[in-house]
Amino acid sequence: MKKSHIIGIIIIAAAIMIIMSTAGDASTYVDFGQAKELAQDGSKTKVHVVGRLKKDAKGHIVGMQYDPLVDPNYFAFMLVDTNRVEQKVVYFNPKPQDFERSEQVVITGNMQNDVFVADKILLKCPSKYVEKEVQQTTAGL
């Protein structure tokens, strides 16, 4: 066998390993029901959940808990997933400053002891859409 063939085989093997590991490490978008099932099965894999914040009639967010004076690294809130399942989410970091304005939230993490522990929070704010901005500005003029 020629040396180049051996190297070719090694490269292909490495590429296959890369693909397998990508597939293995890839996370998934799930709802809270599935996240709970995963946790009950003893899995510690981290998942993505897309949800909306629970708001009252006045548009205030319900169930938000952040008191930096007590613990600046503890932020808890309620998230409603696409199946309308409500779940308490805990984030061991300061509250993102534009949290109140966001509509849709994507969280990454897993269920632990009946709460969802989030490592990452990604906010989608309605104000980021161009059209709304324009109306706000023009209304102000």
Partner 1 sequence: MINTLIGDIGHLSVIIAFVAAIVSSYAYFMASRATIDAEALTKWRRFARGAFYVHALAVITIIFALFNIIYEHRYEYYYAWSHSSNHLPVHFMISCFWEGQEGSFLLWIFWHVVLGVVLMNTGKKNKEWEAPVMAMFSFVQLFLTSMILGVVIFDIKIGSSPFILMRDFMPDAPVFAMDPNFVPKDGTGLNPLLQNYWMVIHPPTLFLGFAATLVPFAYAMAGLWKGKFGEWIKPALPWSHFAAVTLGVGIVMGAYWAYETLNFGGYWNWDPVENAVYIPWLVLVGAIHTMLAFRRSKQGLRASFILVITTFILILYSTFLTRSGILGNASVHSFTDLGLSGQLFTYLAAFAVLAVALLIYKWKQIPVTEKELTTYNGEFWVFIGAAVLCLAAFQVWATTSIPVYNSFLGFIGIDSNAALPADQIEHYTKFQLWAGVLVAVLTGIGQLTWWRKTDKSSFLDAITMPAMLTLLFASLVIILSNKFDVFDFKLDNPVYITLFVTSLFAVFANLSIILSLLHKKVSLSGGAVAHIGIALMLLGILFSSGYSNIISGNTSGMLYSREFPDEINRDNVLLWRNTTTDMDKYKVSYRGQFLEVAGVPEYVNKEILFRTDDEYSAIARADIKVAEKLYYKTGDTVELPTPENTYYQVEYKNRETNEAFILYPRAQVNPNMGLLASPDIKMFATKDLYTHVSSVPDPNEEKEWSELKEYTVTVGDTIILNDYVAIFNGVEVIKEVPGVPLKAGDVAVQADMKIMGEKKTYHGHPLLIFKDGMAGYYPEILEDLGLRITFLNIDPKKEEFKIGVNTTQKDYIILKAMEKPFVNILWIGTIVMSIGFIMAITRRNKEGNTTKTTKPKAVKKADKAQVA
Task: Compute the least distance from the CB of residue 98 to partner 1, in Å.
Answer: 2
Gyration radius of the chain over CA positions: 21
Structure tokens, 53? 């914040």
Near partner 1 by CB under 8 A: residue from 48, 52, 54, 55 = 48
Task: Compute the least distance from the CB of residue 86 to partner 1, in Å.
Answer: 19
Q: How far apart are CA 107 and CA 123, in angstroms?
A: 9
Q: For residue 121, how many other CB atoms are within 10 A of its CB?
A: 20
Q: How far apart are CA 14 and CA 109, in angstroms?
A: 29
Burial of 25 (0-12, 13-18, 19+ CB in 10 A): exposed
Nearer to partner 1, 83 or 112 (CB): 112
Task: Compute the least distance from the CB of residue 115 to partner 1, in Å.
Answer: 7
Name the site residues for partner 1 (rule: CB under 8 A). 2-4, 7, 11, 14-15, 18-19, 21-22, 25-30, 45-48, 50, 65, 67-74, 90, 92-99, 101, 106, 108-109, 112-113, 115, 117, 119-120, 122-125, 127-128, 130-131, 133-135, 137-138, 141
